[in-house]
Structure 1
């Protein structure tokens, strides 16, 4: 049998890693963090259990990488969807809607993700997080920021706060109101991005 080339091996590793990340998003989103084991994820991904541990130091790191990948892919799709635009304000609106939308469509997953970040392990830097950061920084720059190093972390913090607001157990904030607050802060028109049904909240344009 002819040995596989390094490029083929690299592609196989990439695909295995992506299947693990996709399986994590699917299983945790349905069953929750505690009920999902690394063995469950390996079976869902169709890989050996040891391969999961080879790529990821633990379940918490795996979950953060998986959610950051989902956020990156969701944001990239929103920014590039037709009609494609270079307008910085429209791209900012799409970015806000993409991230807030995940809090609405993937509440269990995003609540678990945010809880993990706030625990002792904290924020895990990984390839997926860096890709997400690049898109958000690019959005801030295209929006017209004169200091991206200052304004990118602020946008990230505002988005995280809005996601927590949507998901807060027992006292959730309406997504439309949080969206309206963010749009007001960045001077964005309500009908830009992907506005929710029903129009802006009373007293907010």
Structure 2
């Protein structure tokens, strides 16, 4: 019996997801530049032709992963509550995402910072300009509602701080005291202390060392 259009669509989606998962794992293990399409097809258990059919090139694979990463940032627009509650929720959501999606965080950091791959990141970011502008404006509105004299600078400082935390967490996942850093962020913005810890492992403050 021929497969229905719905079944065929589900199979296509599963194949795409398997390829994307394999690409992310391969990029994490070998680095973007060293990873090859052959490595990715072997990890996914699919033919090279299937990867080419869905994505075309290694850059398009990376772009799709980055696209999803940027969509995760844009999801902050849905957070509700008072300005203080929204700011606390944005901090928590960003820290939790950083801790639970380290492979894609490392990929994004690598593509952003490496001169040979920065253009890949720039192209994806440009394609998401409208959504990212919404995120920036949302943060600026929150800071304006909290009485900040320069909401744009506050937005940039918060993003830079959270991105810096993500970089350190990607380098030192075993020794980074995420919960202590979270409490310090709350204090710096005069937010009430979080009632419960984030549902992730967080070591005590000591020294950042790679393991």
**Same structural fold, with TM-score higher than 0.5 when normalized by the shorter chain:** yes
Sort the Cα spacing of 1:113 and 1:90 in 2 relative to 1 into closer, same or farther, 3 A. same
Name the counterpart of 2:88.
93
Name the counterpart of 2:160.
157
Name the counterpart of 1:114.
109
| Higher RCO structure (Cα 8 Å, ≥6 apart) | 1
Q: RMSD of aligned C-alpha atoms?
A: 4.5
Name the counterpart of 2:122.
124
TM-score between both structures, scaled by the size of structure 2: 0.59
Structure 1 Cα separation of the partners of residues 152 and 123 of structure 2:
17
Name the counterpart of 1:174.
177
Unaligned 5+ segments in structure 2 are: 1-12, 206-211
Name the counterpart of 2:71.
72
TM-score between both structures, scaled by the size of structure 1: 0.61
Unaligned 5+ segments in structure 1 are: 1-14
Sort the Cα spacing of 1:136 and 1:36 in 2 relative to 1 into closer, same or farther, 3 A. same
Structure 1 Cα separation of the partners of residues 142 and 135 of structure 2:
10
| Equivalent residues of 1:74, 1:98 under 8 A apart | no
| Equivalent residues of 2:96, 2:198 under 8 A apart | no
Sort the Cα spacing of 1:170 and 1:144 in 2 relative to 1 into closer, same or farther, 3 A. closer
Deviates more, 1:86-95 or 1:66-75: 66-75
| Equivalent residues of 1:32, 1:108 under 8 A apart | no
